[in-house]
């Protein structure tokens, strides 16, 4: 045990004797460990951020988009499709048919291009979409085809930067201008698949289909699934059923759920993390080669020291242990510095991206242990070479 601690002391004395060379020796290990930790932690942080946004948008939502270029989609894309699916799949809590289009919207000298959505009065309660000012429109206003609108937060800011919009009239253009009275401004919230809440203008569904764009076909559907149900599996079943309804045409409808997106994103980032982590791990091996070269130079420089130690009774095992511990110590110190650097860079980047930092603990353990193994592997040959030196020739070395 005394021999072990003495070798550790000698290893650190050797490192402190030539600080510049020690730092350059460790640089490859520091960069390698930092890269592994930073890349894998950023991957986990990005995944967590996306999952958090999707969860806020609503994991229990399924969006259906008819491809109206397909004949079967035109035939089936009617408002009654929601009722048909709800009766066939009891796990659907409620659903709505939506209309949408891109329009030029103006108020006074302010103008913006916005998505105008025709939605039923139940839309706001279905998605817990709350008003910042005013209110959402009622079923009576929808039935009466009233020309009223509710603004998303960003649209309200663009059209009314200094004015209270409630009660004001905006103009919606597509060819002929239509005047609509603003009755509400909604709170900002995350998007869901098929709806960009903050950048949209909402009008009653029947107003949209009679005043803005006369059509019987629906742009998209949103289905709210009951809590605890497998949304991904239900989305697949709905897609299969719609394909059957469309006479086997699988291109007629596109069915998407945030849960599906989260699943695919998690799988993709997981694969990407492994790939990038592997590339970063290669730099650890390169760093190990650098340490081996430095250790070989060190053995050559300290040939007389090795000869003196052997003449005083040091065994080949003791010499080998000393140089092997020096290599491992270089990697361990470099690994520790790399862990700190990797975490620091991860915290910096996630703060700039406004993500929550998620440390990949297994990656920290892997990177640190791997750096120590690199020290053992690449330090063995210089240590072996030092232990094989002939003491007489070593003492004669100049």
Residue for token digits 């361990």? 332
The count of structural domains within the chain is 2
Domain check: are 354 and 284 in the same one?
yes
Q: Domain span at residue 274?
A: 2-54+263-396
Domain check: are 287 and 140 in the same one?
no
Q: Please list the ranges in the chain whose pLDDT falls under 70.
A: 1-19, 21, 53-59, 70, 72-74, 190-194, 259-260, 262-263, 265, 301-302, 306, 389-398
Residue for token digits 């986990």? 44
Say how many CA atoms lie within 13 Å of 41 toward its Cβ: 32
Domain check: are 306 and 158 in the same one?
no
Domain check: are 192 and 106 in the same one?
yes
Domain check: are 83 and 46 in the same one?
no
Domain check: are 213 and 288 in the same one?
no
Domain check: are 47 and 76 in the same one?
no
Q: How far is CA 193 from the centre of its chain?
A: 17
Beta-strand ranges (E) seen in the chain are 61-66, 92-107, 110-119, 131-134, 148-151, 169-174, 176-186, 200-204, 220-225, 253-256
Say how many CA atoms lie within 13 Å of 239 toward its Cβ: 17
Domain check: are 214 and 294 in the same one?
no
Boundary of a domain, candidates 231, 256, 281: 256
In this prediction, residue 254 carries a pLDDT of: 86
Domain check: are 187 and 104 in the same one?
yes
Tell me which residue of 382, 388, 349 sits closest to 11, measured CA to CA: 382
In this prediction, residue 384 carries a pLDDT of: 73
Domain check: are 226 and 297 in the same one?
no
303 CB-contact burial (10 Å; exposed 0-12 / middle 13-18 / buried 19+)? middle
In this prediction, residue 395 carries a pLDDT of: 60
Boundary of a domain, candidates 239, 256, 273: 256
Cα 81–86–87 angle (5° rounding)?
100
Domain check: are 126 and 150 in the same one?
yes
In this prediction, residue 17 carries a pLDDT of: 67
Task: Count the Cβ atoms, other than its own, within 10 Å of residue 89.
Answer: 17
pTM: 0.60
In this prediction, residue 57 carries a pLDDT of: 59
Boundary of a domain, candidates 225, 256, 287: 256
In this prediction, residue 245 carries a pLDDT of: 84
Domain check: are 184 and 316 in the same one?
no
């Amino acid at each position: 045990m005394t021999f072990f601690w003495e070798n550790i002391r000698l290893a650190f004395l050797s490192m402190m004797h030539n600080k510049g060379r020690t730092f350059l020796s460790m640089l490859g290990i520091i960069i390698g460990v930092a890269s592994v930790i930073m890349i894998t932690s950023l991957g986990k942080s990005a995944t967590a951020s996306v999952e958090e946004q999707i969860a806020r948008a609503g994991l229990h939502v399924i969006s259906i988009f008819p491809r109206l270029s397909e004949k079967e989609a035109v035939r089936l894309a009617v408002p009654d499709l929601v009722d048909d699916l709800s009766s066939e799949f009891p796990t659907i809590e409620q659903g709505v048919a939506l209309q949408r289009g891109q329009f030029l919207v103006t108020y006074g000298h302010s103008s913006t291009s916005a998505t105008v959505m025709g939605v039923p009065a139940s839309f706001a309660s279905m998605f817990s979409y709350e008003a910042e000012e005013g209110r959402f429109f009622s079923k009576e206003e929808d039935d009466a085809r009233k020309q009223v609108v509710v603004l998303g937060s960003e649209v309200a800011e663009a059209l009314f930067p200094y004015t209270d919009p409630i009660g004001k009239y905006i103009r919606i253009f597509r060819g002929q201008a239509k005047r609509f009275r603003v009755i509400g401004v909604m709170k900002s919230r995350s998007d869901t698949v098929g709806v960009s809440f903050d950048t949209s203008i909402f009008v009653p569904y029947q107003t949209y289909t009679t005043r803005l764009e006369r059509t019987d076909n629906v742009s998209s559907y949103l289905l709210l699934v009951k809590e605890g149900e497998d949304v991904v599996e239900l989305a697949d079943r709905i897609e299969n059923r719609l394909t059957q309804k469309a006479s086997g045409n699988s291109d007629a409808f596109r069915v998407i759920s945030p849960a599906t997106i989260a699943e695919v994103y998690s799988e993709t980032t997981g694969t990407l993390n492994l790939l990038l982590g592997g590339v970063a791990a290669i730099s650890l091996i390169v760093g190990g080669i650098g340490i081996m070269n430095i250790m070989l130079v060190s053995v050559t420089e300290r040939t007389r020291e090795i000869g003196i130690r052997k003449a005083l009774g040091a065994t080949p095992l003791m010499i080998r242990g000393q140089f092997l511990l020096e290599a491992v110590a270089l990697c361990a110190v470099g690994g520790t510095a790399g862990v700190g650097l990797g975490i620091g860079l991860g915290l910096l980047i996630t703060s700039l991206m406004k993500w929550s930092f998620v440390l990949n603990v297994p990656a920290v353990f892997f990177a640190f242990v791997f750096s120590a193994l690199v020290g053992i592997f690449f330090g063995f040959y210089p240590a072996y070479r030092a232990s094989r030196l002939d003491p007489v020739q070593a003492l004669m070395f100049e």
